[in-house]
Chains A and B, each alone.
Chain A
Amino acid sequence: MSHSSVAALSPELADVRDATAADTGKPAFTHRQSAHCESGVVSAMMTHYGVPMSEPMAFGLASALTFAYIPFVKLAGMPLIAYRMPPGTIIAAMSKRLGAKIERRRFSDPKAGMAALDEQLAQGRIVGLQTCVYWLPYFPEAMRFHFNMHNLIVFGKEGDEYLISDPVFEVTTRCPADALEKARFAKGAMAAKGLMYYPTRMPREVDYAKLIPAAIKRNFHTMTKAPLPIVGIRGIRYLAKNVVKLGERNDKNLILYLTHIVRMQEEIGTGGAGFRFLYGSFLQESGKLLGNDGLIEASKKITAAGDEWRRFALNATKMCRGRMPMDVHALADIINRCADKELEAWQEARKALDS
Chain B
Amino acid sequence: MDVSSVPQEPSPTYEGQRKLLYAVDEKGEYTGVKSAGWEPETFATLTAIAELDRLRNEAWDRALAGKTSPLEFHMFDRRMELDTLAATSGIWKWRIRRHFDVKRFARLPDRILQRYADAMGISVERLKSVPPRDNPS
| Interface of A toward B, CB cutoff 8 Å | 33-35, 55-56, 74, 76-77, 134-135, 140-146, 168-170, 182, 186-189, 191, 255-256, 259-260, 262-263, 266-267, 269, 271-273, 277-278, 280-281, 284-285, 299, 303, 306-307, 310, 313-314, 316-318, 320-321
Contacts and interface: CB of A to CB of B under 8 A. Distances in A.
B134 interface: no
Contact of A187 (B18, B19, B39, B88): B88
Determine chain A's interface SS by DSSP, over half rule: helix
B29 A284 contact: yes
* Interface magnitude class on chain B: 35 or more
22 contacts: A33-B32, A33-B34, A76-B81, A140-B15, A140-B17, A142-B14, A142-B46, A146-B88, A168-B20, A187-B88, A262-B43, A263-B44, A266-B40, A267-B41, A278-B22, A280-B24, A280-B30, A281-B22, A281-B30, A303-B24, A310-B1, A313-B44
Given A55-B32, A263-B48, A277-B23, 9 more contacts: A134-B78, A142-B13, A142-B15, A145-B48, A145-B79, A146-B88, A168-B19, A266-B44, A281-B22
Which 9 A/B pairs are nearest by Cβ-Cβ distance?
A142-B13, A281-B30, A188-B87, A140-B15, A317-B40, A259-B44, A277-B22, A262-B44, A272-B21
Contacts of A170: 17-18, 34
A144 B15 CA distance: 12
Interface in B36-95: 38-41, 43-49, 51, 78-81, 83-84, 87-90
B58 to A, nearest CB: 15
B121 interface: yes
A272 B23 contact: yes
